[in-house]
Structure 1
Amino acid sequence: MKAAPNDNEAPFRTLTESARAKTRLDVVADYVPSEIPEYAGNEFIEALGPIRSRKDLAKLMSYHPPFEHLERQHPAHVRKHLMLRLKRLYEPLTDQNNIAQTLSEMIYSGYVHRTPSSPQFHQFLQQSYLARLRGATEQIEDVDPMCDSYAIIGVSGVGKSRLTRRGLAQFPKLIWHPKLRMYQIPYLIVECPYNGTIRQLALNFFSELDKIACTAYEVRFSKRHMTVEDLIREINAAAHLFGIGLIIIDEIQHAKAASGGSSEQKFLNFIVRFVNTSVAPVVMIGTMSSLEMLQSDFRQARRTIGALLSNHKQDQEWNQFLKILWDYQWTKKVCPLNQDLNNAIYERTQGVLDLAVKLYQYVQRRAIDCKSEEIDVKLIHLVADEELTRVAPMVDALKTGDIAKLAKYGDLTLPEFKISATDMKNSEVHGISLNQLRDAIKVYGEERDLN
C-alpha cells in the first residue's frame, strides 16, 4: 500500500528507507496466527504477537536494576550515584497488572475493524485524502470502529503514567509491514498541554507522531487555522494511516488550566467528541484533581469506565514491594527489613510507592553522610521530617482518612461509594464508571450538608 496518494501530501508520507534506517525505532512485522476468530487474518493484530498471560505480563513489566553486594564497599560518593537505580525499579502490583491487561485488550479489540489489507481500510484512506483536498469540514464515515474509552485516575505518586508505559512496553513503538508498504504504531502517548487548549493538544498529538514516524505533521498544522472538526478529522486520518492502536492522553488535569470556565468546557466537549468518533481507543490519565472536571461531561462519553488508584494498604502486596525495595541497600551495615522498619516507612508514606522509594533513598544517603552506615526507625522519621515536609500534610490526610482534609488536596481526594457516607473513607474502589462515582460524590455531599 502506498503511504500517500501523491507527493504533495508530504506530512502523510511514511518514512523513506534511509530515514527508517536512521531512526531505528521500527521492527519488521512477523505475523503470528491468532486463535481468536475475530483477530485471524488481521495484519495489525497478528503483528503484535500472541496475547500474554497475566504472569508473563507481570514479568515483562517488572524491572529490577542490577545490584552487587560488593557495591557497598565503594566510596560514599559512588554509592550515592548507584542509588539512582532505585528510580528505575518497578514491581507491578495487582491493580497495575489489571490495568495493563485492560490496555492490551483495548489495542487488540480496537484493530478488529481495521484490517489493513481489506478494501474498507483503503476506502477510508481514499475518502480521507479527497476530503483534505476539498477542504471538507464534515466527518468522514468510519469503517465501524470498535473503540472503547478508559480513564486511569489516581493519587499522585501511585505510578499511573509509569504503569501505562511499562504495560505497553510489550509492544514495539513502530512496526514496518513490508508487504503492505506501511507502518503501524501500536500506541501513542500524548501529554495534555499545561494551558488546556484544544489546538495545543492536537499539536502535541502530531508532535509525538512525528517523533516516532519521522513525519512533519506538527509543522504543517501549526501554520493553519483549523476548527475542532478539522482537528478530529486530521487526527483520525493519521491514526488510520499509521495504524495507531491506542491513543493515551496523559495529565488530563491540565485541562483545568484553560482560561475561563467556557474554555474548560470547550476542551471537555472536544475530548468527548474525540472519544466518541476516534478511530482508535482512547485512554485518559489524570490525578484526582481532574475527577470533578471529568464528572461534569463524561456522562456523554461512550463506555467511559475507569480505574481509580489510591495509596496502597499495608498488606501482603505492600510487604512484598518493600521486601524487593529493601534488597537495594548500599549502606555498609546490612539492616534486614523487620516489622518496625516496615511500619515506619508506611507511616511516613501511607503506601504511596513513589514516596516510599524516595524516602528509602534519602535515608540511605543520610546514613552514609552521618557515617553511621545503618538504617533504623529513628533515622527514617528524622529524614522524613526534614525531606518530606512539603507532602507531610497530604500524607497526614491519607493517614487519617479525613474527607475534609483530603478535599484540600485535589490530587489525593478519593471519595468512595460502596457503602454509607460515614464509612466511605474505609472502603475500596476498583474499576467503577465515572458516572457511578459522580453520583456517589453527589449523595455524599448532600449527606454532609444535612449533617
Structure 2
Amino acid sequence: MVTRTSNVRVVEARYIEQRIPRYKGNPLIEALPPVPTDEALIKQLLRLPDFDVEQREWPTEDRLQMVGGLSMFLLPLERHIRLARALDTLVRGGYVGRAPSTPEYARIYQALYEAQQQGVAFLEMVETPDESQLSSSLIGMSGVGKTTALRRIFRRYPSTIYHPEHHVYQVPFLHIEAPHDGLSVKGLAGSILRKLDLLVPDSDFYDTYVNTRGRSSGEMLLINLAAHAMHTYCVGALIVDEIQNLSNRGTSKSTLMSALVSATNQLGVPIIFVGTTKALDVLGLNYRQGRRSVGHGFQTWNAFATSRDLADPDEWEDFVSVLWQYQWIANPVQLTQHLSDALYFCCQGVPDLAIKIFACAQWRAMLEETEIFSVHSFNAIMKDELAIVEPMLDAIRTGNTKLLRQYDDIPHLKFDTLLDNALGQYQGVMQPGANIRPGDPEFGPAVADVLIAAGIDESRAKTLAKRVEADNKVVGIVAGAKAALTIAQPKPARRGDSTKKEADKQEVSLAPDDLRNAFRLSKADGLSVLEHLTTMGAACRLEEVLGLV
C-alpha cells in the first residue's frame, strides 16, 4: 500500500522476521528491505544506458543525445558491494535499542527535553548500545563516484515508512550536503529539519522553528530540535556530504563537529561523513572526532586500480570493458590494450572523467563525420574540453600530494555543457554547404559567389575559387571562401623589401635634373655626391665661393 499526503511518497510497513537475535522484534529493522545476495545487489545497483546496435544507424542528432545517456553509467565493483554491505549493517545496528514504544525510545525523548529546558544541546545521561557508535566516513578523491554510489545504494530503501500500529514515520536515511561556503551549527540543524519536512507528511519543523523563530533561537537549541526531529522520525543514518566544506568555517568547525558527535552518542543515529581528502583535516580536529570517523568497513575510495592487462583485469579493466560496449558511432572501435592504457593515462583512473572523455570522443567522431575515434581523440579532448582538470591530473600522475591537495575537487563538468561545447566547436557542420567538398559541382561557384559578395571582381573571384578547389585542403563553402580570401590578400613584405622596392622605383622614375641622381651616380662610379652636384650646377667648390680661384 502506498499513500500520498502533501506530495510525499510513503509506504506502509511490512515486517520481515529477523534471524539475528538483536534485530528480532524491532519494527524499524523488520520494515527494512531484506539483505540481498551479491548477485541481487549487483542487479539493483547496476545502471546502464539504453542501447541497441541498430541505434548506430540513427540520425546524428539522435545519436548525440543517446551518448549523453552515459552520464548515468554505474558498474558495481567490489568496492560498491562492500560499501552497500557496510551501510546496511550500519543502519540496522543503529536501530538497535531505538524501537518505538519501548523504555529506551522514551528515555531519549526525556533526555532531549531536559537538555532543552537547560538551554543546551544534549545531556550526557543516555546510555546507548554499542551499535550506535558505528559512525564512519567515506573519504576519497573527487570524481570516483562516492556520492553517486551512496544515492544508488540508498535507493534500495523506501524514503519514508509509516508504522500504523505505532503511529510512527520512519526515515531510513537522511542525506544532506554542506554548501561550498561552509556549514554552521545553525545551518546543519536547518538542513536536517528542512529535509525531514520534505520526507514526512504534514511535518513543519522548519517553518515553525526556523523561519518564524530562527533569529531568536540559539544554535544549541536548534541542534536539540533537529535531534528531536530525527528521533521522532526514526532516522536510520545521517549522511553529511561534502564534509570538507566545514574547513571554510574557521573556528566554528570544532563546535559543529562536537555537535555531530554528541548527536550520534545521544540518539544512536549513525553519521556518515563523506568528502574528499581535504575532509581529513576536518575529521582530524582531535582524537575523539578522528576516532569516530573511521572503521566499519568503509575503505578510502581512490581512483580505479589497473593491472594494465585486459586479460587479467583489475578495477579499471572491468570498468572500461563494459563501458566500451556503449558506442553509437557508425564504426565502433575495438578495445585494445593501447586504447585502454591511453584512456587511463588521460583520466588517471577517475571514472567520472573516463566516461566524459569516452562520450566526447564519440561526439567528435559524429560531428567531424569520421565516425571513429583514436588515442589522438583522447589527447585532443584533454587539451580542449577538459583542460580545466589537467592540473589536478598532473598532480595525480606525479604523486605530488601537496599539489594534489590544491586541486582536491575536480570541477564539475555536466554532460549537457560538454555536448553544447562540442556542438559549438563544430557548428559549421550544421550550416548549409558545410559538407560540400572540392570536386562537387557546387563548390567552385558557391565559393566565387561569396567572394563576389565580399567585393572581389567576378573574374578574380572565379580564379581564386579554382585555386582553392585545386588545393583540395578544405571542406565546406565557408572554409573555401576563407581560404580564397587568404590567397587574395597580398603577402606582407619582408623586412627591407619595401625600402629596396621604393629605391628601385626611384631609379626608374627620377627626372634627369633631379638632384637625387647625385646619390645614385655616386654609388655607381665612386665619385663623391658633391662632385656630381657640382657637375649638375647645383653646387660649387668652397674656393670659388671665397674667390680664391
- Report if TM-score (shorter chain) is over 0.5: yes
Amino acid at match of 1:395: L
The structure with higher relative contact order (CA 8 Å, sep 6+) is 1
Q: CA deviation at 1:177?
A: 1.2
Tell me if structure 2 keeps the 8 A contact 1:288–1:411: no
1:304 partner SS: coil
2:17 partner SS: coil
Tell me if structure 2 keeps the 8 A contact 1:150–1:283: yes
Tell me if structure 2 keeps the 8 A contact 1:193–1:204: no
Over the aligned positions, Cα root-mean-square deviation in angstroms equals 2.4
- 2:33 is aligned with 1:33: no
1:265: which partner in 2?
A: 254
1:271 partner SS: helix
2:473: which partner in 1?
A: none
1:344 partner SS: helix
Deviations 1:14-54 (A, max 9, x none): xxx99834535211111010001100110000011322233
- 2:151 is aligned with 1:165: yes
- 2:60 paired residue among 61, 76, 87: 76
- 2:247 is aligned with 1:256: yes
1:327: which partner in 2?
A: 325
Deviations 1:172-202 (A, max 9, x none): 1111112222211100001113332111111
Tell me if structure 2 keeps the 8 A contact 1:334–1:374: yes
1:341, 1:21 → 2: CA distance? 53
1:431: which partner in 2?
A: none
2:341, 2:80 → 1: CA distance? 23
1:184, 1:94 → 2: CA distance? 30
Q: CA deviation at 1:228?
A: 4.2
- The alpha-carbon distance between structure 1 residues 25 and 38, as it changes in their structure 2 partners (threshold 3 A), is same
1:216: which partner in 2?
A: 204
Q: CA deviation at 1:403?
A: 3.4
- The alpha-carbon distance between structure 1 residues 180 and 240, as it changes in their structure 2 partners (threshold 3 A), is same
TM-score by length of 2: 0.67
**Matched length:** 393
Q: CA deviation at 1:151?
A: 0.7
2:135, 2:2 → 1: CA distance? 37
- The alpha-carbon distance between structure 1 residues 379 and 60, as it changes in their structure 2 partners (threshold 3 A), is same
Q: CA deviation at 1:411?
A: 4.3
- 1:118 paired residue among 102, 108, 131: 102
Kindly report which structure 2 residues correspond to 1:296-335, keeping only aligned pairs within 5 A, or say none: 296-300=285-289, 303-305=292-294, 306-315=298-307, 316=313, 317-335=315-333
- The alpha-carbon distance between structure 1 residues 220 and 301, as it changes in their structure 2 partners (threshold 3 A), is farther
1:105 partner SS: helix
Deviations 1:55-105 (A, max 9, x none): 332221111122111111121111111122111111122222212211111
2:282, 2:102 → 1: CA distance? 40
Amino acid at match of 1:197: S
Q: CA deviation at 1:142?
A: 3.6
Q: CA deviation at 1:154?
A: 0.8
Structure 1: runs of 5 or more not aligned: 1-16, 413-451
Determine what percentage of the aligned residue pairs are the same residue.
31
Q: CA deviation at 1:274?
A: 3.3
Decide which structure has the larger Cα Rg and report it: 2
- 1:137 paired residue among 120, 132, 135: 120
Q: CA deviation at 1:124?
A: 3.8
Moved more, 143-152 or 95-104: 143-152
Moved more, 218-227 or 100-109: 218-227
1:274: which partner in 2?
A: 263
Deviations 1:381-408 (A, max 9, x none): 1222211111112112212223343343
Amino acid at match of 1:291: L
Tell me if structure 2 keeps the 8 A contact 1:239–1:279: no
- 1:401 paired residue among 399, 402, 415: 399
2:28: which partner in 1?
A: 44
2:193: which partner in 1?
A: 206
Moved more, 44-53 or 227-236: 227-236
1:396 partner SS: helix
